[in-house]
Structure 1
Amino acid sequence: MESYLRKCCLVSMFVLFIGLGFKVKAEPQVPCYFIFGDSLVDNGNNNRLTSIARADYFPYGIDFGGPTGRFSNGKTTVDVLAELLGFDNYIPPYSSVSGQQILQGVNYASAAAGIRDETGAQLGQRITFSGQVENYKNTVSQVVEILGDENTAADYLKRCIYTIGMGSNDYLNNYFMPQVYATSRQYSPEQYAQDLITRYREQLNALYSYGARKFALVGVGAIGCSPNELAQGSPDGTTCVERINSANRIFNNKLKSLVQQLNNDHSDARFTYINAYGVFQDIIANPSAYGFTVTNAACCGVGRNGGQLTCLPGQPPCPNRNEYVFWDAFHPSDAANTVIAQRSYNAQSSSDVYPYDISQLAQL
């Protein structure tokens, strides 16, 4: 009888809490989230670097409470993914993370960074992909120290999500910048993509050797559709530059094949490909379906359709930011980032991901 009364009491208290609006805090779907990439997901790592590739000034962050180093008016794709994965806070940048904070994950992304170490050099300091991997190795040492031993740390890290989005700058700030880099004279688009994939694989294997097991590899977007490329290479300012997009597709096809190879090579790991290119093309082809009205101009920037330069310090951006696919000459708006992240997390089409979306990856 006493046991029965105790159960009834507990049920009544639970119903009372719900009625009063109390919420039971849910744990994130994974214990931690590690991020590697470039300016599309940099959230402040370049703020302390001597670099032109910085976004720590207004109007960047206008819809985020102020500039943080994010190359957006608001959230990046990884911010949205952190929310979808159930984290209470956005993943902190490596440049400022400390102590127990690292246990929820770290963002290593750096604007202008590439797979090749020389990529983006004309813009100043940046943390290359290999440098980001080295920073991750340093983090793993700290995780081992906090958790007490390597086995416990390994068990912890294998349940975390790792998103890697590299390669955009290897085209934008390397291959298609022949006045600065010789790569386009040394490699055909096919050879260059293969070179990038070979280097990419080395870094992924390094991450694997340091405990990473759940990888989401984000393909290069349709760079030829950015306001910058439209301003420079489009005859009418609206038609995407196919010369660039075709090279991006070659890389993405090889990256998708790499995912299959890595899944075969590492039976205890899971790799998936996120088709950011395809999602972005869908947004541009069907803007009204997502609430966009402007696909070929930047909300903030100067020159032809805002595509010549990124936002200048203090420059007022457009007021209707949610209607723009692009925030500046290179980077998607908060609204576009949200669509890309949502379809990465929960695939809307079978072509969005291969072989699983991030919500499925989290459960594996």
Structure 2
Amino acid sequence: MFFCEVPFSQLFLAILWSFSTIIISLVSVVSLPNNESVPALFVFGDSILDTGNNDYIETFFKCNFPPYGEDFGGGNQPTGRFSNGLIPSDFLAAELKIKKLLPPYLDPNLKREDLLTGVSFASGASGYDPLTNNIALVLSLSDQLDKFKEYKTKIQDMVGENTTTTIISKSIYILSSGSNDITNTFFLLPFRRLQYNISTYTDLMVSKAKEFLEDLYELGARRIGIVGLPNLGCLPSQRTLRGGFNRTCSDLENQAAMLFNNKLSSQIDILGKNFTDAKLVYLDIYKILSDMVQNATKYGFEVADKGCCGTGYFEVGGLCNFLSQICSNRSNYIFWDSFHPTEKAYNIISSEVNTMFFSEVPSPQLFIVIVWSFSTIIISLVSAVRLPNNESVPAVIAFGDSILDTGNNDYINTLFKSNFRPYGKDFGGGNQPTGRFSNGLIPSDFLAAILDIKKLLPPYLDPNLKRHDLLTGVSFASAASGYDPQTNKIASVLSLSDQLENFKEYKTKLHDMVGENTTTTIISKSVYLLSSGNNDIANTFFTLPFRRLQYNVSTYTDFMVSQATKFLQNLYGLGARKIGVLGLPNLGCVPSQRTLRGGLHRKCSERENQASMLFNKKLSCQIDILGKKYPDAKFVYLDIYSVLSDLVQNTTKYGFEVADKGCCGSGNLEVSILCNPLSLGICSNRSNYVFWDSFHPTEKAYQIITSQVFDKNVDKFF
């Protein structure tokens, strides 16, 4: 199966969504009551107030690249702010006559005056719910408080205890959080809905908000503004995801936001009575943003249902990049990208609510995070084949990424899942999502059937595995994994090392069942398939900035091949003798990459295609070397680049009509959570499409690719 398994091309789109917040900002300096003075401004929370902290941590949620910062300073200066220019943290600092820009605390170039007059501790994509922060790999509110404690120590070393106490007690504090929890962790992902309904989940959020505010009070804060949630369902992204064909506002999220706001406001009143020497102010922005969206022309706008960047429906974070088209008339748009307001919108909202917190211009938070998902393309086959020399294959063992993951990611804490509709549209009796990224079977299943072993290859982590399942093979693959350890860490999935550890555990189970001799036979006679590297190239290298600071394409592909070599040698050491290794396909021609990097006409991205070819050449050479080093084993390089290229370029030759977009939704971006029950429909003629979603092939495409590749390589395994 594995050799017969049509290699795949995994394309992951970290469709990273950052979250957005609508906060209150102002341009002109305001007069403070009773001639009060404010020595410093401190902000906590999420992206609306994060002026760049996420630039200095390992997370996907960044925006330190064009066109972000299009109107910042002299223009075209991305700083990590999710806007075309300034964000509320900056406006608030200017309004309070403290300074023009509020710097991020993690900036290593902070000066003494920066610290004395306040900083931002906020981290984009954070939330009240600890799970929100764990998933996004950002600074939780607890982490931000720890940074604040560190900050206090620095200030005390500078100016002494008395002055520090004065700065801390007289300063203004703003908290913006909760939007990521509602929009992403609860509605977008399945985990919390298994534990809570919306009522009990908002109770959890409010309890976490209460804990943070009590801790902040204990640290000396006395002037605290807490931003409620806006009408989240009217954000462009949520209209696209849940607003149906006409992209109307999503009542589901709007109602959740109102429920949370009512509970938060009541809790703040209680805290205000408990802390009589403090001022805690609830900042209601739901009504303001609602009026702004419903009556856009009243505020001088023309467009309120989409962003200025790209199509304005999905683009945010990594999807709003230097290849995206941006509107020239930004003053006509409420939203900069599909989640964050333009600078003009920030100013207008701020002017409406600046009286909420005496001198402190509150900040309305509006956020959205859209997670990325990743994708794969592989080869599959339907009918069983005759093996050379009457060979028999006792089991199929699969490692790698989503092309071979038949559901392992269902059992780990990661965003990269597909165990919901419309996935599995044609699986079994229909509409049976299982964690496979397809409308039906995937290559792991086809391979098991081809080798006449069984119809479906189960995931190893399935708690309901039976003896027969283990004896005839399982999948250890984990969607979104890669050769690069950073790829696995960022996606919170099983690395190849983790998969090998599970394989060792599997061997022990076999030994307990059938004894040492039979276990040795099963392990040595089985066929192994490895599919990896696509996430490394498409996401970790080209989409995220970290690795490009260390490598160029040539040295990065060298690194990938070295990791592949290490895995294959370890697998050999554990007894595997028939190993097929998939090369990369023409990644630049996958629908997502056309959308992201193919320009206005969505052409294939040459950069990724060239990177794929370079990696393939190096991998093929290394596999030849391993074959010579271990003559008792069969290492087979499976070239799918040329096969998929021909399939995409000569679509009708294979019985398809559409090869540049997927069957789910618009087909340009939808994958994983973006391809969901609320997507803008799925095509009825799936047999005409090469791709099921914007990254994964249809079952029909899997079969065609598999048959071509298997015919060329089956003899090499025996």
Instruction: Identify whether the pair has TM-score above 0.5, normalized to the shorter chain.
Output: yes
**2:533 partner letter:** G
**Residue 455 of structure 2 corresponds to residue 89 of structure 1:** yes
The Cα shift of 1:78 comes to: 2.4
Q: Which residue of 1 aligns with 2:234?
A: none
Give, in whole Å, the separation in 2 of the partners of 1:312 and 1:44: 17
| Partner SS for 1:296 | strand
| Residue of structure 1 equivalent to 2:588 | 224
Aligned counterpart, 2:348: none
Matches of residues 175-194 of structure 1 in structure 2 within 5 Å? Answer: 175-178=541-544, 181-194=545-558
1:206-221, aligned counterparts within 5 Å? 206-221=570-585
Please give the residue correspondences for 1:65-80 in structure 2 after superposition, counting only pairs within 5 Å: 65=428, 66-80=432-446
Q: Secondary structure at the match of 2:408?
A: coil
Cα drift, residue 50 of structure 1? 2.3
Counterpart of 1:184, as a letter, is R
Distance 1:74 1:194 in 2: 35
Out of 44, 59, 81, the position equivalent to 2:422 is 59
User: Paired residue for 2:507?
Assistant: 140
Per-residue deviation, residues 268-323 of structure 1 (Å, max 9, x unmatched): 00011111222111101111111111010111144xx4325544321331111111
What residue identity is the alignment partner of 1:317? I
Which of 106, 120, 128 is 2:495 aligned to?
128
TM-score normalised by the chain length of structure 2: 0.43
**Is the 1:299–1:306 contact (alpha carbons within 8 Å) kept by the matching residues of 2?**
no
Residue in 1 that maps onto 2:479: 111
Which amino acid in 2 is paired with 1:263?
Answer: G
- Counterpart of 2:396 in structure 1 is 33
AA of the residue aligned to 1:128? S
Matched, 1:172 2:538: yes
| In 2: Cα distance, 1:235 partner to 1:267 partner | 47
Tell me if the contact between 1:44 and 1:68 (Cα under 8 Å) persists in the aligned partners.
yes
* Percent of residue pairs bearing the same amino acid type: 33
Which whole-Å CA distance do the structure 2 matches of 1:81 and 1:343 have between them?
Answer: 14
User: What is the deviation of 1:89?
Assistant: 2.5
Equivalent position of 2:669 in the other structure: 307
Q: Are the aligned partners of 2:594 and 2:603 in contact in 1 as well (CA < 8 Å)?
A: yes
Structure 2 portions without partners, runs of 5+: 1-386
Q: Report the Cα distance in structure 2 between the residues aligned to 1:89 and 1:308, rounded to whole angstroms.
A: 29
**CA–CA distance in structure 2, aligned partners of residues 80 and 290 of structure 1:** 19
* Alpha-carbon spacing, 1:293–1:225, altered in 2? closer, same or farther (3 Å): same
Decide which structure has the larger Cα Rg and report it.
2
Q: Summarize the alignment of residues 232-271 of structure 1 with structure 2, pairs less than 5 Å apart.
A: 232-271=596-635
For residue 264 of structure 1, report the CA deviation from its aligned partner: 0.3
Deviation at 1:201, TM superposition (A): 0.7
- RMSD across aligned C-alpha pairs, in angstroms? 1.9
- The residue number in structure 2 matching 1:101 is 469
Deviation (angstroms), 1:361: 4.1
Query: Hey, what does 2:334 align to over in structure 1?
Result: none
Matched residue of 2:439: which SS? Answer: coil
1:191 Cα deviation after fit: 0.6
Out of 264, 268, 272, the residue aligned to residue 636 of structure 2 is 272
2:697 is the counterpart of 1:342: no
Tell me the SS of whatever aligns to 2:397.
strand
CA contact under 8 A between 1:120 and 1:169: conserved in structure 2? Answer: no
Matches of 2:642 and 2:422 in 1, distance apart? 29
Q: Is the 8 A contact 2:675 2:693 kept in 1?
A: no
Separation in structure 1 between the aligned mates of residue 391 and residue 404 of structure 2, nearest angstrom? 20
Q: 2:488 touches 2:494 (CA, 8 Å); kept in 1?
A: no
Q: What residue is the counterpart of 2:650 in the other structure?
A: 286
| CA–CA distance in structure 2, aligned partners of residues 71 and 29 of structure 1 | 29
| Contact residue 406 and residue 444 of structure 2 kept, 8 A | no
Further displaced range: 97-106 or 38-47: 97-106
Q: Is the 8 A contact 2:664 2:670 kept in 1?
A: no
In the TM superposition, what whole-angstrom CA distance separates every residue of 1:184-220 from its partner, at most 9, and x where no partner exists?
A: 2211111111101111111111111111000110111
Letter matched to residue 67 of structure 1: P
8 Å CA contact 2:497, 2:567 repeated in 1: yes
Asked if structure 2 preserves the Cα contact closer than 8 Å seen for 1:295 and 1:325, the reply is yes
**Secondary structure, counterpart of 1:173 in structure 2:** helix
Gaps of 5+ in 1: 1-25, 348-356
> Residue 152 of structure 1 aligns with which residue?
518
Displacement of 1:87 after TM fit? 2.1
In 2, Cα distance between the equivalents of 1:236 and 1:82?
42
Deviations 1:46-104 (A, max 9, x none): 11222221100010010113111000011212222222111232111011134342110
Cα offsets for 1:13-71 (capped at 9, x unmatched):
xxxxxxxxxxxxx9994110000121122110111222221100010010113111000
The reply on whether 1:320 has 2:685 as its aligned counterpart is yes
